[in-house]
Amino acid sequence: MTNSPSTTSPEAPGLARPHTRHFGSAAVWALSAAIIGYALVFGGYMATIVAFALIYAVFVSGLNVFMGLTAQVSFGQSAFAAIGGYTSAVLTTTYEWAPLPGMVAGLVFALVAAFLIGFPTLRLKGHYLAMATLAIGLITYEIAVEWESVTQGYLGISGIPPLGIGPFEAVSDRAILSVLSVIVVILAFAVTRIRRSRLGRAFSAVAGSEEAAGALGINVSRYKLVSFLIAAAIASLSGSLFVHVVGYVSPEVFGLHMVILAFTMVYIGGLGTVAGPLIGALIISILPEVFRGMKDYQDLAYGVTMILILIYAPKGIAGVAGALDARRSA
């Protein structure tokens, strides 16, 4: 389902029509930009909603590498967000580190944890892997609750400083939205490049057929692990961003709820697409606000909308846009 080959084969010069070919994908990006632009201009409550959506977009981008590009299932990515978030929180409050080194430390811890967990579990297949990852999420939650001397249990850690480098601090809604938008765009760019690389093709091969991948010399468990590590690193980043933006962290933040929400976002946005995590996160975050006026019927309207999207866009919003582009250029 790639819709943007980087070169055109000499046999098929008629296939390239650059000005029409990315129309659908461009529309998805334009819609996302419009929503973020609205929040930037009008600020207020909408800015808070969109900021949370962008943090989720970061988390979902990681999940998308593991689930979309490599077709593996993990219910435990929230564990790595928790490791990143708590490391940032503890280091910047108790030990008074600056946010950036705290974030890097969180990243390192998350990668080490992901390696220790991923190395044995990624040899498991299908349901077993899903179950193992679910356990990881639950164990991390319990640790966050019980390890009170460090995490302060249910009470949580407050007074976490805002995002910042040196004298610059992202305190205002606009500054926060700008920083988060830049990070999301960089991640989308990175995913685009991964998809078109040797690494991305190895991921696709694992997703397509592990047997065929092995027959071509691809070390399947090694590439699953690489994909898992990338996803864990991005999850850790999203956890750190969360605690700095909100200024507070508690175990509930990284509970099972986070995983379910992220799954909804990745499917509604479009599994394995570049724009999917962003548009999915924005829509899933904003929909409840749109339906808030309907009071008692709010949940019903939300549910019906989800079902309609999945009926008419089974590959997600960005997936359908990509398919339209492919048809237009064929």
Binding residues for other proteins, rule: CB under 8 A, are 1-2, 5-7, 9-12, 15, 190, 193-194, 196-202, 204-205, 207-209, 211-220, 226, 230, 272
Rg (CA), the chain: 20
Residue 317 and residue 271 in contact, taking contact as beta carbons nearer than 8 Å:
no
Under 8 Å between Cβ of 325 and 22: yes
Q: How far is the CB of 104 from other proteins (least distance, A)?
A: 17
271, 281 Cβ separation under 8 angstroms: no
Which C-beta is closer to other proteins: that of 20 or that of 94? 20
Q: At its nearest, how many Å lie between other proteins and the CB of residue 137?
A: 25
Task: CB nearer to other proteins: give 175 or 323.
Answer: 323
Nearer to other proteins, 100 or 199 (CB): 199
**Nearer to other proteins among residue 198 and residue 295 (C-beta):** 198
Nearer to other proteins, 158 or 219 (CB): 219
As given in the structure block, the two tokens for residue 132 are 């193992």
Between 89 and 202, CB nearer to other proteins: 202
CA separation for the pair 32, 38 (Å, rounded): 10
Under 8 Å between Cβ of 56 and 237: no
Closest distance of CB 144 from other proteins, Å = 29
In the complex, the smallest distance separating the C-beta of residue 110 from other proteins, rounded to whole angstroms, is 16
| Cα–Cα separations (whole angstroms), residue 163 to 58, 168, 180, 279 | 15, 9, 10, 24
Nearest approach in angstroms of CB 216 to other proteins is 6
CA dihedral 141→112→58→300, nearest 10 degrees, is: -30
> Least distance in Å: CB of 289 to other proteins?
35
Hey, how many other C-beta atoms are within 10 angstroms of the C-beta on 228?
A: 28
